[in-house]
Structure 1
Amino acid sequence: MKKLYSLKDTEKFTIDEVWDMYRKYVNNSQVDLISKFGFGNDIAIKAEKNFIFTKSGKKIYDFTGGIGVLNHGHNHERILRIRQWFQKNKFMEVHKNYFSPYIAALSSNIANLLPEDLNISYFSNSGSDANEGAIKLAYKYHEGKRDYILSSNISFHGKKLVTSNVTNSKETRYFQFQELVKSDNFEFNNFNSLKDKILTLKKNGICNVYAVILEPFSASSLLSLSEEFLRKTRDLCDENEIVLIFDEVYSGWGKTGNLFYFMNYEGLIPDILTSGKSLGGGKASISAYTCRDKFFKKAYDNLRDATLHSTTFNGLGEETATAMEAINIIIEENFVENSKNIYEFLNSGLKKLQKKYPKIIKDVRGSGALNGVVINTNFSDKYLQPIISLIPSKFTRDEYAIKKIIVSSYISQLYDKYNILTFYGSNIDLPLKISCPLNIEKENLDYFLRSFEKLLEEGTISVLKKFIKKNIF
């Protein structure tokens, strides 16, 4: 019998052994891609707050925010305690024949925090699951009599087959998967573009759109929909009885300066809200869609359809208990206010750097604790162009390859020189994103700004040369 590893065995793995197993059993190309960076050559052994500790002894400043998961930081003490309490008492995880007090309490807590009648919640595992559940409910609400769902031209709603049909970011839409739902898109933040689509899509003279799905704040591009756009869209959906879905999987739970971004605008309510990522406190894989009473009642609240949307791990006990504690921490530890303070300090610091280095920083974007910069990738620079021309063609087949290489060079140098972990957004502008937990200390934000400024002083040519020399030649 071949070797079966234990958790203790993994503590002894070298990075070469991990690479080898990834190449054989996970994804060979991931090794080729991620090993180009310093973090792809390290093994993380511990994490706490906004720090990651590696096997080689490094203390890494994590400014990825766990790609939206770590609003509470790594291993928040209260999250750990609640999970340990659940395990110690051997509470029941899942059983479909018994009502779950954890699902009941978590649903109640969410309803009590959201405006008006956003009352009914369903819990799944990923943001993509939540969005798919929301789309399914909207379709069922119209009894299958309408055909289309609309999303923006830079949207990101997930990578499953259904959600990929409403994800239009060019960075992820280069391969066209089978269309499982009929979808169309409109120009981001252009109300007339949306209105024209709705007026065009008719069947027998009646509106043929059952849902519009929006990201009030686009985490991949760091752009927001205007209040005017959102309010006009709300009115347009009401006029045409279209279900309005707000996807706040990434931007929600305090990340962007309010409990949810849409709550910046009084009286603006979606019909369905999706959330996830940090809902699990950095330890639980849980997401949710929450809808207004009338939409749920028409779609599912009858004996025939009561279990039409269900999953095996819906509302897993420890996951829902963790989510309850995660929400209580957000409220009790003033995460929303913290998020606003992070924005004031970090975003203003980035704008100061933009004024000092306008040829490098093209734009500064963000909201709350999710911020970033768009690096200038204009290749006409007489000094930059010769360096770009040295890159072998196999690395530049992707139309965004040069942008990725330039932004990646900054990500690489931040890690190698300053132990700072960052990433870029999966959208055409590829912003270098700076995302942090909502309990981060100000001194760590200051460390990032000072370190980033040192790289900017070197300039793109110097940073890019080091990255190309290390990884391509």
Structure 2
Amino acid sequence: MTKKTISLKDSLEISEKNCNVFFKRYINPGLLSIYRILGFANMPIESAKGLKLFLKDGRTILDFTSGIGVLALGHNHPKIVEAEKFCHEKNIIDVQKFGVNRLQAILAYNISQVMPEPLDTSFFSVSGAEAIEAGIKLITRIQPSYKEYFISFREDYHGKTHGALSFSNTENFSTGFHTSIPKKNVILVEHGNISNLEKTILNHKLTEGRNSIAALIIEPIQGQTLEVPPRGYLNDVLELCKKNDILMLVDEIKVGMGRTGNLFSFFDENIVPDIVTISKALGGGKRAIGVMVTSAELSKKAYGKRKDSALHSTTFGGLGETCAVAIETLDIISSKIFLDDIKEKSVYFFDK
């Protein structure tokens, strides 16, 4: 039996009411009910530009949602649109699985230039949760088997895949799910409380000065609660990690990419963690991308041998056009003018 599908051109003529029917039937009825409660279910959006949504009924709405961290540059930023156009006009290769993708290599180089040494090696994914997964696999690949525990923080959020969910301790996201890191192996501590962390590490000491903690995973500022730790806290955390051979993963997926006035929020304390994860805003509001950044030393320990080099990969990570957009996004957001403007506007909003 042949069923009728809707073409891309015809999709623009489908009514908002019918789109809601399709969403409810073929995607997620519960989510649609939430959109209705919030007033988002009947917004016939014709186009979007910058901070503005232009509706078919003539209204203009200011979009302060930031796409939950994705829209640092707003909708359809001209330089991002131009980057896509550049790729289309040049017929730049998008999928290059055998051989070096030029734009992927350039993006990795650019990331190394904005990160403190020795954070110079990137793994590309299509989401923040995937970047966290890459970090978890790197950690478990490197650390010895007796280091079986991880430290996470109450109310931290790192994603909803099985690995990332192991460390997402907010809003009951893990209820009813198995996690890839057993809950008994994840130690929850209070965000911002250094004495609590120090005591936890001390309680996991083994013989001969060793301890059983493999890594600590932290949001410098909690994306869900907006909890900001005391000044100097991240430095103290890093010092404890270094003393006890605990790898430190800093999750910048939600709070990085200029949102604090620095390119990344951990820059505020001039620390250098072992692993950093980036996503959301890096895609310029147009592309899905995540990155796990670490040092060449740690990357080589995990995957340095030829036979191990493809142990962790992902099909759509680091496609050409996605990297082109990320190159432009990073260039815009890392500029002094852009970051200074954020600081200036932050003062204005705090005053209000």
> Same fold judged by TM-score > 0.5?
yes
- AA aligned to 1:111 is S
The structural deviation recorded for 1:176 is 4.2
The structural deviation recorded for 1:175 is 1.2
Secondary structure of the residue that 1:60 maps to in structure 2? strand
2:83: which partner in 1?
82
2:348: which partner in 1?
345
2:40: which partner in 1?
39
Per-residue Cα deviation, 1:44-65 (whole angstroms, up to 9, x for no partner)? 2211010111222221101111
Secondary structure of the residue that 2:37 maps to in structure 1? coil
Q: Is the 8 A contact 2:121 2:294 kept in 1?
A: yes
CA distance in 1, matches of 2:92, 2:144: 39
Per-residue Cα deviation, 1:127-147 (whole angstroms, up to 9, x for no partner)? 111111111111111144421
2:212: which partner in 1?
208
CA distance in 2, matches of 1:72, 1:174: 31
2:241: which partner in 1?
237
1:452: which partner in 2?
none
1:249: which partner in 2?
253
Per-residue Cα deviation, 1:53-78 (whole angstroms, up to 9, x for no partner)? 12222211011111101111110111
CA distance in 1, matches of 2:79, 2:117: 30
Q: Is the 8 A contact 2:168 2:174 kept in 1?
A: no
CA distance in 1, matches of 2:307, 2:92: 31
2:62: which partner in 1?
61
User: Does residue 332 of structure 2 align to residue 329 of structure 1?
Assistant: yes
CA distance in 1, matches of 2:90, 2:176: 48
Unpaired segments of 5 or more residues in structure 1?
Answer: 350-473
The structural deviation recorded for 1:204 is 5.9
- AA aligned to 1:88 is E
- AA aligned to 2:156 is S
Secondary structure of the residue that 1:151 maps to in structure 2? strand
1:411: which partner in 2?
none
2:286: which partner in 1?
283
1:13: which partner in 2?
14
Per-residue Cα deviation, 1:297-324 (whole angstroms, up to 9, x for no partner)? 2111121211111111121110011100
User: Does residue 308 of structure 2 align to residue 305 of structure 1?
Assistant: yes
2:299: which partner in 1?
296
The structural deviation recorded for 1:340 is 0.6
Q: Is the 8 A contact 2:20 2:41 kept in 1?
A: no
Q: CA RMSD in A?
A: 1.6
Q: Is the 8 A contact 1:42 1:56 kept in 2?
A: no
- AA aligned to 1:178 is H
Q: Is the 8 A contact 1:245 1:271 kept in 2?
A: yes
The structural deviation recorded for 1:226 is 2.5
Q: Is the 8 A contact 2:70 2:285 kept in 1?
A: yes
CA distance in 2, matches of 1:141, 1:225: 29
Unpaired segments of 5 or more residues in structure 2?
Answer: none
Secondary structure of the residue that 2:152 maps to in structure 1? strand
2:232: which partner in 1?
228
Aligned length: 347
- AA aligned to 1:290 is V
Q: Is the 8 A contact 2:66 2:74 kept in 1?
A: yes
1:194: which partner in 2?
197
Larger Rg: 1
- AA aligned to 1:106 is L
- AA aligned to 2:226 is L
- AA aligned to 1:132 is E
The structural deviation recorded for 1:250 is 1.1
- AA aligned to 2:180 is L
2:140: which partner in 1?
139
CA distance in 1, matches of 2:125, 2:145: 23
The structural deviation recorded for 1:336 is 1.0
CA distance in 2, matches of 1:11, 1:124: 31
CA distance in 1, matches of 2:330, 2:4: 41
Per-residue Cα deviation, 1:423-453 (whole angstroms, up to 9, x for no partner)? xxxxxxxxxxxxxxxxxxxxxxxxxxxxxxx
1:93/1:174 Cα in 2 relative to 1: closer, same or farther (>3 Å)?
A: closer
Secondary structure of the residue that 1:312 maps to in structure 2? coil
The structural deviation recorded for 1:203 is 5.5
CA distance in 1, matches of 2:83, 2:327: 10
2:180: which partner in 1?
180
CA distance in 2, matches of 1:204, 1:162: 29
CA distance in 2, matches of 1:94, 1:174: 34
1:226/1:292 Cα in 2 relative to 1: closer, same or farther (>3 Å)?
A: farther
Secondary structure of the residue that 1:57 maps to in structure 2? coil
The structural deviation recorded for 1:83 is 0.6
Q: Is the 8 A contact 1:165 1:177 kept in 2?
A: no
CA distance in 1, matches of 2:212, 2:256: 30
CA distance in 2, matches of 1:30, 1:227: 38
With the length of structure 1 as denominator, give the TM-score of the two structures.
0.71
1:261: which partner in 2?
265
Aligned positions of 1:394-405 closer than 5 A: none
The structural deviation recorded for 1:333 is 7.1
1:34/1:240 Cα in 2 relative to 1: closer, same or farther (>3 Å)?
A: same
With the length of structure 2 as denominator, give the TM-score of the two structures.
0.94
1:271: which partner in 2?
274
